[in-house]
Chain A
Amino acid sequence: MNDPRFDRLAELVLDHSLELRPGQLLRIDADAVAAPLILPLHREAIKRGAHAYAAIDLVGLKELLVAQGSDEQLDFVSPIELREVDAIDAAITIWSESNTRSFSRADPARRQRQLTADRQYSLRRRDRIARGDLRWCGTLSPTNAHAQDADMSLADYEDFVFRACHVLDDDPVGHWRSVAEQLGARAGELGGVRELRIVGEDTDLIAVVEGRTWRSAHGRQNMPDGEVYTSPVETSVNGTIRFGFPAVFGGREVDDVRLRFEEGRVVSAEAAGGQPYLDALLDMDEGARGVGELAFGLNYEIDRFTRNILFDEKIGGTIHVALGMGFADLGGLNRSTLHLDLICDLRREGEVYADGELVWRAGRFLSEIQPTSRPVEHVG
């Protein structure tokens, strides 16, 4: 049975995220479990006159490499795949997994070594994206593994994913265009702010954002999307913050993280669960204790934590702070191999002050930015 929601998500990614054009070369990266989305993406790309192919992975192969490969095999970077990255005009990564914990028991050093080799592809891809030579989008095809992490049935999880992507709206592309306008305006407004103060349960944190660029994320590089983010001034972050949602990194969880910052550095880190792992992450390198990102999650169709950062960081009414790598193009200076997103739920009693003025309460900005197009309605 064909579920038309997959077709509509495919169309949305091709038409809004990638703006795919005839004659372009598209590569779809995915595990085989994402077949329900791979097929319509490929078909719709062909219908749009593009050349498309899928690079399909199978769960268990990289796991074998990490478990059994020699150092030379772990370090291997395929020259063919590097040339592919150079040749394509558009790329889609479908992050779907059939087991989100299949690396949980892998030797961390060996896994790290294999990831370092894999990073050669994503670094080259990032360079081409930055130069404007390549359009890229990451998305998800719902699977039982992700539903399980979200404590949902697959059917419920599909509803959640497609709602978050607004694919059942009358005009999904129109929706995301209006999101682009709203979030663009919000980013512009935040661009005029010198200092933000975030106040919530066990949380009182100050960060200077003056001189940094705020970016709106409206469905170009992620689907779903919906956040505005920047890299705050590295030495300016001071105070305490408590992250109500578990932090998931590398298939492992750290629960109820509380951090204290002094002059931009984590000086105290406590977790109710996974303390040794949190400590190991913070000691990964010099930049791991610094802040790389501060962001507002603004997708109000994402109303719950599902242990998947693609969705969690966009939960409407949250902020997130990432330890580690900052965004150089937004003015961020922090460098690290870590980029650990930690999400703080401000929906109940959170407040945010911009240069002393209350701008956000209980998960919403107080000033409405009106969309220019009419609010979208759901069909079916």
Chain B
Amino acid sequence: MSDSRQERLAHVLVDYSARVEQGDLVTLETTTLGAPIMRELYRAVLAAGAHPLPRITLEGLSENLLKHGDDDQLAWVNPARADDIETVDVRIVLDAPANTKRLSNIDPKRQARHELANEGLRNRYLQRAAAGELRWVLSVYPTEAAAQDASMSLAEYDDFVYGAAFLDAPDPAAAWRQFGERIDRVGDFLAGKRELRIVAEDTDLSLVTEGRQWIRAKGHENLPDGEVFTAPLETSVEGEIRFSYPAVFNAREVDDVRLRFEAGEVVEASATRGEEFLRQMIDMDDGARRVGEFAFGLNEAVPLFTKNILFDEKIGGTVHLALGTAYPESGGLNRSALHWDMICDLRSGSEVYADGELVYRDGHFLNGLASPPGGASRPAEPQQQ
């Protein structure tokens, strides 16, 4: 049975997010489980007058390589994928896992070798994106595996995913444009600040963002979306932070991560589960111990943690930071094969200070910046306390 929300998702991705134009070369990347959404995307790309290039992966292939490959094979970069990255105008990528724990028993060192080798591909596509040569968007197609991680039935997870992407709205693209205006107001406000301090349970972290760009994530590169992020000055991060949610990287979970920073570098890292994996990841390379991203999650339609970073980092009322590589457009200089987002829930007992002034409490900006339109608390200008 076709879910009309799949068709709407395809159209939002093609027409709003990636702005596919006539003649574009568009890779459509998902797993074999994504077949239903792949057909909708293919149709939507054809309707836009562009050329759809399916890139379908089969779960088990990466496991084959990571289990059986020698060092040369692990470090191999597929020239066809490199050619895609170099050539196409648009990438539309949809996660659709059959088993999110498929790589749990792979030796992390082997995995790291593979990640390192393919770092160039990721850097290159981000570089082309920053130069305006390539548009990309990451989304999901709901599967049982993802629903299981979220502790939901697939029907419930469908509702969660499509709700978070505003696909129940009469005009989803219009809903994203409207939300985008609110996100812009938060970005404008933060752009005027020099230093942020986050205070919560077992957390007191300060960082300097002056001179960096606050990027407003409005549904163009992620869907769903809803965050503002930047890269703090690499040596400015000081203090400690405890992450409320398990940190998930390459489908591995690390619970209750606590980090202590000095001069921008992780000097202490602990976890109640998965500490060894955490250490291996932050020892991956020089940049893996520094912060590449700091962000506020603003999407109130993502109310709960589902073990998928695409959603979790957007949870309205959270902040997250990423160890590892920075997005060039944010002005960050840190480079690493790692980019590991970790999330801290600020919805109760938390405060954020900007240049010493309290601007955010219990998951909300005090000046009502990110509140939905029409609310009584929505000011035209950032309020002074």
Contacts and interface: CB of A to CB of B under 8 A. Distances in A.
A338 interface: no
Given A39-B58, A46-B73, A58 B35 contact: yes
B39 A68 contact: no
A47 B68 CA distance: 6
Contacts, number: 96
Given A78-B53, A79-B87, A87-B79, A46 B64 contact: yes
Interface in A29-77: 32, 35, 38-39, 42-43, 46-47, 49, 51, 53-58, 60-61, 64-65, 68-70, 72-73, 76
B35 to A, nearest CB: 5
A53 B68 contact: no
Nearest to A43: B64
B1 interface: no
A84 interface: yes
Interface stretch (B42-50, B197-205, B241-249, B376-384): B42-50
Interface in A14-32: 23, 25, 27, 32
Nearest to B83: A80
A49 B73 contact: yes
B155 to A, nearest CB: 24
A39 to B, nearest CB: 5
Contacts of B47: 68
B56 interface: yes
A83 interface: yes
A80 B65 CA distance: 23
Contacts of A78: 25, 51, 53
Contacts of B64: 39, 42-43, 46
Contacts of B57: 54, 56
A80 B53 contact: yes
A56 B65 contact: no
Contacts of B60: 35, 39, 42
Nearest to A23: B72
Residue of B61, B65, B84 ringed by the most chain A CB atoms within 10 A: B61
Interface string B84-103: 10011000000000000000
A85 B311 CA distance: 38
B32 interface: yes
Contacts of A56: 32, 54, 56-58
A57 B46 contact: no
A128 B81 CA distance: 21
B69 interface: yes
Contacts of B42: 61, 64-65
B286 interface: no
A23 B69 CA distance: 11
B134 interface: no
Given A35-B32, A51-B76, A42 B61 contact: yes
A84 B56 contact: no
Interface residues of A, number: 35
B32 A64 contact: no
A65 B46 contact: yes
Contacts of B81: 53
Interface string B106-147: 000000000000000000000000000000000000000000
A256 B70 CA distance: 55
A57 B73 contact: no
Interface string B321-361: 00000000000000000000000000000000000000000
Contacts of A49: 70, 72-73
B272 interface: no
B76 A64 contact: no
A42 B69 CA distance: 11
A58 B80 CA distance: 19
Contact of B65 (A35, A46, A72): A46
B105 interface: no
Contact of B83 (A35, A47, A57, A84): A84
B38 interface: yes
A139 to B, nearest CB: 17
B78 interface: yes
Nearest to A76: B51
Given A35-B58, A58-B39, A69-B46, A46 B32 contact: no
30 contacts: A32-B32, A35-B32, A42-B61, A43-B68, A46-B69, A49-B70, A51-B76, A53-B78, A53-B80, A54-B58, A54-B61, A55-B80, A57-B54, A58-B32, A60-B35, A60-B39, A61-B42, A64-B42, A64-B43, A64-B46, A65-B52, A68-B43, A70-B49, A78-B51, A79-B87, A80-B53, A83-B83, A84-B79, A84-B83, A87-B79
Going nearest first, the 4 A-B pairs with the smallest beta carbon separation are: A56-B56, A32-B32, A43-B64, A46-B68
Given A56-B54, A56-B58, A70-B49, 6 more contacts: A46-B64, A46-B73, A51-B73, A57-B56, A64-B39, A84-B79
Interface of A: 23, 25, 27, 32, 35, 38-39, 42-43, 46-47, 49, 51, 53-58, 60-61, 64-65, 68-70, 72-73, 76, 78-80, 83-84, 87
